[in-house]
């Protein structure tokens, strides 16, 4: 499934021109933000209710199903009144159970399709909880949208994909279709194709990609939007792989190798934790502080350089060693605080 359209509905001409271009692409839903929750007041917060008539005109003129984001009961009521085919709950709303519950109660007894974006912060329980609230309202056609997560340390992405969280979501809710929003993950047009391909390789059920008739003039998120023609080229460039059940017999040897390697990793981590315990006891005896920033930064730099020379991605190694270091700090802290607890 492909959902596309501008980040924001700006003018009637912009909406209709974008829809005209997308009608030749073969998308399943035309999307546009009418009400836009923004970080700071004074930013463009959506064209408002007038955009509804433009969306309805898109459906009448080009036969496209229409979708928009809702953030409160009033939005839901207007979307239902104007027979929108789909609505979605944005990341800023998913993070607030009160908001999701208000929307869920307004949806009670309707048959509209609802999609739930992951919360801004990397919290699987919040995401699942929001989906469950919509399901409990009697909505049977519910999907999840992975749009990435905010992190303290910025990466090359606008929002860190953190692919493990949507994988975990799929394990918890296997019957819920999973969509990917590479526009909000990447934040820049040139990242859309590799992100979309990654989603397809991970067996996602579809894509939500922002498209604008003239991205350079977009009022919001100009860098991450592409033209309808560029979207068509992107979709044609995707490799859609075989989704049939894999031949497990052919995978046995690979899985055995992975198992042995994982067991070795676990043993190595166990040994490293023991060393951290010994360091903690030494620092306690010497009444020494735990963190030595210069030493840690130098060790991290050397490890990243070594791993990079072996073809291991720098970002992965950095995150891995930060997690290991974080646990080492925990172990040493517990040792240093033992007397205080006694």
pLDDT at 261: 94
pLDDT at 247: 78
pLDDT of 341 higher than 70 = no
CA 233 to chain centre: 23
pLDDT of 225 higher than 80 = yes
Taking each helix axis from N to C end, the angle separating 97-107 and 73-81, rounded to the nearest 10 degrees, works out to 30
Q: pLDDT-derived band of residue 338, with 50, 70 and 90 as boundaries?
A: confident
Q: pLDDT-derived band of residue 340, with 50, 70 and 90 as boundaries?
A: low
Alpha-helical (H) ranges within the chain are 12-23, 50-62, 73-81, 91-94, 97-107, 124-136, 164-172, 182-186, 192-201, 228-237, 248-285, 293-309, 314-336, 338-341
Residue 146 CB neighbour total at 10 angstroms: 28
Read off the pLDDT of residues 122-138 as tens digits, 9 standing for 90 and up. 999 999 999 999 999 99
**Which residue do the tokens 């307004």 mark?**
106
Closest CA to 64 of 54, 75, 49, 77: 54
pLDDT at 242: 82
pLDDT at 43: 75
Q: pLDDT-derived band of residue 342, with 50, 70 and 90 as boundaries?
A: very low
**Per-residue pLDDT averaged across 258-268, rounded?**
94
C-beta separation of 95 from 53 below 8 A: no
DSSP class per residue in 189-222: GGGHHHHHHHHHHTT-SEEEEEB-SSGGG-SS-G
**Per-residue pLDDT averaged across 260-278, rounded?**
94
Instruction: Please tell me whether residue 226 adopts helix, strand or coil conformation.
Output: strand
Share of the chain above pLDDT 90, in %: 81
Q: pLDDT-derived band of residue 339, with 50, 70 and 90 as boundaries?
A: low
Instruction: Please tell me whether residue 3 adopts helix, strand or coil conformation.
Output: strand
Read off the pLDDT of residues 139-155 as tens digits, 9 standing for 90 and up. 999 999 999 999 887 78
Instruction: Please tell me whether residue 312 adopts helix, strand or coil conformation.
Output: coil
- Domains plus CATH for the chain? 2-237 (3.20.20.70), 248-341 (1.20.59.10)
Q: pLDDT-derived band of residue 274, with 50, 70 and 90 as boundaries?
A: very high
Instruction: For residue 13, give every residue at least 6 positions away whose Cβ sits within 8 Å of its Cβ, in sequence order, or none.
Output: none
**Per-residue pLDDT averaged across 266-271, rounded?**
94
- Structural tokens at position 157: 């992405």
Read off the pLDDT of residues 44-102 as tens digits, 9 standing for 90 and up. 777 999 999 999 999 999 999 999 999 999 999 999 999 999 999 999 999 999 999 99
Read off the pLDDT of residues 314-337 as tens digits, 9 standing for 90 and up. 989 999 999 999 999 999 999 988
Taking each helix axis from N to C end, the angle separating 124-136 and 97-107, rounded to the nearest 10 degrees, works out to 20
CA pair distance 115, 85, nearest whole angstrom = 11
Instruction: Please tell me whether residue 107 adopts helix, strand or coil conformation.
Output: helix
pLDDT at 151: 85
Q: How many Cα atoms are found within 13 Å in the side-chain-facing hemisphere of 229?
A: 4
Q: pLDDT-derived band of residue 214, with 50, 70 and 90 as boundaries?
A: very high
pLDDT at 45: 75
pLDDT of 306 higher than 90 = yes
Beta strands in the chain (DSSP E): 2-5, 29-31, 65-70, 86-89, 113-117, 142-146, 178-180, 206-210
pLDDT of 291 higher than 80 = yes
Closest CA to 176 of 130, 238, 239: 130
**Per-residue pLDDT averaged across 285-314, rounded?**
91
Beta-bridge partner residues of 206: 179
In the chain, what's the furthest Cα-to-Cα distance? 78
Instruction: Please tell me whether residue 5 adopts helix, strand or coil conformation.
Output: strand
What is the reported pTM? Answer: 0.81
pLDDT of 244 higher than 80 = no
Read off the pLDDT of residues 22-54 as tens digits, 9 standing for 90 and up. 999 999 999 999 987 766 777 777 799 999 999
């Amino acid at each position: 499934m492909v959902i596309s359209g501008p980040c924001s509905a700006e003018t009637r001409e912009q909406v209709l021109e974008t829809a005209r271009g997308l009608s030749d692409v073969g998308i399943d839903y035309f999307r546009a933000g009418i009400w836009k929750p923004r970080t700071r007041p004074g930013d463009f917060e959506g064209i408002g209710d007038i955009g509804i008539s433009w969306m309805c005109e898109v459906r009448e003129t080009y036969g496209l199903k229409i979708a928009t984001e809702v953030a409160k009961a009033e939005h839901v009521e207007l979307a239902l009144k104007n027979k929108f085919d789909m609505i979605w709950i944005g990341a800023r709303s998913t993070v607030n159970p009160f908001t999701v519950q208000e929307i869920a109660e307004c949806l009670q007894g309707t048959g509209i399709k609802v999609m739930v974006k992951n919360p801004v912060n990397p919290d699987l329980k919040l995401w699942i909880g929001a989906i469950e609230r919509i399901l409990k309202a009697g909505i049977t056609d519910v999907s999840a949208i992975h749009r990435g997560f905010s992190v303290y340390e910025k990466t090359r992405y606008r929002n860190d994909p953190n692919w493990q969280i949507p994988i975990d979501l799929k394990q918890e809710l296997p019957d819920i279709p999973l969509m990917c929003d590479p526009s909000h993950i990447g934040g820049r047009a040139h990242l859309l194709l590799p992100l979309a391909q990654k989603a397809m390789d991970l067996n996602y059920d579809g894509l939500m990609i922002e498209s604008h008739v003239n991205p350079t003039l977009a009022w919001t998120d100009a860098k991450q939007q592409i033209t309808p023609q560029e979207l068509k080229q992107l979709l044609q460039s995707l490799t859609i792989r075989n989704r049939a059940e894999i031949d497990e017999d052919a995978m046995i040897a690979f899985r055995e190798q992975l198992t042995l390697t994982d067991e070795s990793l676990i043993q190595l981590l166990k040994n490293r934790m023991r060393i951290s315990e010994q360091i903690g006891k030494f620092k306690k005896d010497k009444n020494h502080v735990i963190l030595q920033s210069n030493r840690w930064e130098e060790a991290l730099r050397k490890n990243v350089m070594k791993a990079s020379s072996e073809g291991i991605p720098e970002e992965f190694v950095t995150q891995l060693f930060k997690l290991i270091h974080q646990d080492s700090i925990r172990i040493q802290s517990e040792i240093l605080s033992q007397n205080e607890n006694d």
